[in-house]
Amino acid sequence: MPRVIVASRMSVRPYTLVTDSAALGDCLETLRGQPLIGLDTETTGLDPFTSRVRLVQFSTPGDVFVIDCFAFGALEDSRLVGLLELPRPIKILHNAKFDARMLERHAGARLRGVFDTYLASQLVEAGAHGQTHSLRAVAERHLGVAIDKRQQLSDWSGILSADQVEYAAADVRVLLPLRAKLVEKIRELGLINVAKIEFDCAPVVARMENAGIYIDRVRWEALCEVTERAHAILRDRLMEDFSGAVQQMALFGKAEINLDSPTQVQDALHRLGIPVEGTRATELQHFAKHEIVARLLEYRTVAKQLTSYGRAMLDHIHPVTGRIHPQFIQIGATSGRFACMDPSVQQIPNAPEYRDAVRAPEGRTLVVADYSQIELRILADWSQDTALMKAFQSGEDLHRVTASQMFNVPLADVTKSQRSAAKSLNFGLMYGMGAQGLAMRIESSVAEAERLVHKYFSAYRGVEQWLREAGEQAVRDRESRTRSGRLVRYEFDDEDRAQTAGIARLGKNVPIQGTSADITKVAMIELDAALSGTDAQIVNTIHDELVVECDESIADATRDAVERTMTWAGQQFIRSIPVVVETSVSVAWNK
């Protein structure tokens, strides 16, 4: 079938509908000569394993090409795959992860050279409240263009209408001018470095989602049975505990109380003489010395495990792949950290019984790697605190070193509880934890906690100064930056002391947490490239941890590559102290 030129009713430029191999060759010749091209796809659904790619659309400053993949084998054409895998021309997409997943699954293409207008919008808005980042919203905000999305959910599997093809052309047509506006903002805000990290990371995240994670169904079901029994036992015991505190009684003398009702639980606790101010975990912790409160907290934990990580987790096992394919949100927090959903594997409890059920299939293994105390190393590098840097450079256990200084005892005599208190301070102060928070964590008086905080800052004066200045700067400038230049803006009422204090706490932590996110993403980009050509694949990430699945025969080589690459990535951001990556090889997700 010859190439068809269709005049657009909604724009001044036509588009080319490509329906055969010869027309595809003409299209690709035009595209290869461009520095920048727009790229989009239309698919029959959202799931790469059950849906198909119907259209692939490209745009240049003068042309729009709409390739009908049902008309001929466009996705099997090596010329098209080759273009997608070239670092140039730069391919401009909106939410590149989705298109990258589809193109990898159906064309085998490892997309390179990406500019993602969705991620760019998130970066330039820098956490502004109320802003959405759909193509329609971003185009309207930056170009004043209203995009008609009525055809978005139409049937893309049958005969295409003129309106559908025009809709596909309009979406890709807007990408070049949109990039131009966003590039202006990126340069103006000093976001070039972080934008490159995010854009390069998007195809890596797509491959990670496509790879998926294997869960042993038998082990998971056995775990659910144990948890369900524990839940039932705790529930029955609590009903007995509360039976004397409620007026209405059920048959056999058991209490009629809804354990999931904050009002009923608080009222019952008051009747038992326990004056809780609320039933949130933080409020109940103050009364955990009471056996019934401790049991209630345990019940809540088990109930949450059943709700979030019970049998429903097995519903996420894909019928085509036999694996779960979580959705990783690349900028899940303004600091740049990932979030995860459907399901949130980041929140799977860090307990052996859970991690043992998340594993590699037979014949394969997992390389689990994480950065050792990466946020504290970032703090040491930024603050240039002599004592903290010395502790890291010596290779000693930092928490023991800190405890030795706080409690004035030799390193060899530090007790487990002293180390625990030091660990709470080392991590907690970055999150703005005060004496009250420390007292609750280590079960001491507030006065004792205040003394320990004072001792800590006496030992690490450079840390105290950096944290104070970072908090003051966040309040003064209403923004913070990570080492890559990632911008986080703050909106608050400076007359409100509680809001101001909250921003000061964020100002201490966001630059550190965000730099940790930068490091992890750079590590993912470099590791994905290093593993290319092998059967090893990144399958999971949780903050400063990466999980790689590979064949057992290449486990040692993969482990070496992971450790080497992650160390290199950390050294790009932390320059004055060592970066340590801890790795393990196991059939299960255990360290």
Q: Select from 488, 490, 520 the least CA-distant residue to 198.
A: 520
Residues 192/198/204/206 CA torsion (nearest 10 deg) = -130
Q: β-pairing, 64-68 with 15-18?
A: parallel
Give the three-state DSSP class for 255.
strand
Which residue type does 212 have? G
pLDDT confidence of residue 255: 54
Q: What is the pLDDT of residue 502?
A: 92
Amino acid 456: pLDDT: 86
Domains of the chain in sequence order = 4-189 (3.30.420.10), 217-312 (1.20.1060), 326-374+517-586 (3.30.70.370), 384-510 (1.10.150.20)
DSSP string across 27-39: HHHHHHT-SEEEE
> CA–CA distance from 543 to each of 208, 346, 379, 485, 518 (Å)?
15, 8, 17, 19, 10
Tell me how far the alpha carbon of residue 291 is from its chain's centroid.
Answer: 37
Residue 85's identity, in one-letter code, is E
DSSP reduced 3-state for 367: strand
By the 8 A CB rule, do 359 and 220 touch? no
pLDDT recorded at residue 471: 95
Quote the DSSP letter at residue 85: H
Nearest CA to 405 out of 417, 380, 389, 422 is that of: 422
Rg of the chain on CA atoms, in Å? 28
What is the distance between the alpha carbons of residues 340 and 419, in angstroms, rounded to a whole number?
A: 32
Structural contact between residues 335 and 517, judged by C-beta atoms closer than 8 angstroms: yes
The residues, any chain, with a CB within 8 Å of residue 430's CB and separated by 6 or more, are 375, 376, 379, 467, 508, 509, 512, 513
CA distances (Å), origin 15, targets 4, 385, 522: 9, 61, 38
Q: Which of 427, 466, 352, 371 is nearest to 419 (CA)?
A: 427
Helical segments of 174-309, H only? 175-188, 192-211, 217-242, 262-271, 281-284, 291-309
Burial, 491: exposed, middle or buried (Cβ in 10 Å; 0-12, 13-18, 19+)?
Answer: exposed
Query: What is the predicted pLDDT for the residue at 351?
Result: 87
**pTM, full prediction:** 0.91
> Which stretches of the chain drop beneath a pLDDT of 70?
1-13, 246-255
In single-letter form, the type of residue at position 518 comes to D
DSSP secondary structure string for all residues of 374-410: HHHHHHHHHH--HHHHHHHHHT--HHHHHHHHHHT--
Residue 13: predicted pLDDT: 55
CA distance 405 to 401: 7
- pLDDT at residue 254, as a whole number: 54
Give the Cα separation of 547 and 560 in Å (integer): 13
Helix (H) / strand (E) containing 582: strand 581-586
